[in-house]
Structure 1
């Protein structure tokens, strides 16, 4: 009985930690925007803005990977196209939310040191692309096309059923 509940617990834990990682990434973005509005980057402070951008990327990528793991344990139904799309591509969407406003404000800030703007804008754009690509599910698997890991061990290959064997073939 406990091994049947394991995938469900894993999915909930992965989803919760993914959400937490994305909240931290968006919090880093908000902090960066506040510092930008306070003109903290007008006269340099390049290491600070690089640290913020790298931190946002790390937490966004961590959230993306955890979300993908949760989706492997609880895939969406392909019959509901909108839900299927959003559940599988949520990592990319959240990553764009975590990066684009800050990168846009960096690139349009008229008071920022030009060298800082070039480096921070370029790095922010590159990290945004990297983290977004890490969040895209290129081959999402709909429900019914997967068998939870360990299912065959729990039930035995002869008890899984012909339908599951056809799907796995």
Structure 2
């Protein structure tokens, strides 16, 4: 999972697995390292959800931003060569991934940092999917307008979710399962 700081990556992981695994905070920039969560859900292959630090905010200023850039570049380049469905354990010989969930805050479609990250992942040749978080915070009119704008901007289907209400989690599980089981 990638996304801006405070977009809800850790909260979404907790909602998906229905337990508090990932540390969350109202303050942005709390996740400082890549955190690996082993998920063994019924009827799905065992896999790892990876919670990367958020981009676009750095409590430590320019140095923290550079550290994030280096971490992201190393993480994605070291796992891109030989993909295996479901990935592999951290530290194993072939730590691969099957796709990236690019989380964007549904209240703020089209932020430069999100679009830059999407383009960067595209240049790396990485399969990526837009997940719009915090949809429960939108009015019905905003929801339609913002989700349509996200689909237009990213030329991709958008999976709307709310970790707060649980809305969209089944659709997100369907997407994750498809990524894990594709040939």
TM-score (norm 2): 0.26
* Relative contact order, higher structure (CA 8 A, sep 6+): 1
Richer in strand (by share): 2
TM-score (norm 1): 0.28
Larger Rg belongs to: 1
Richer in helix (by share): 1
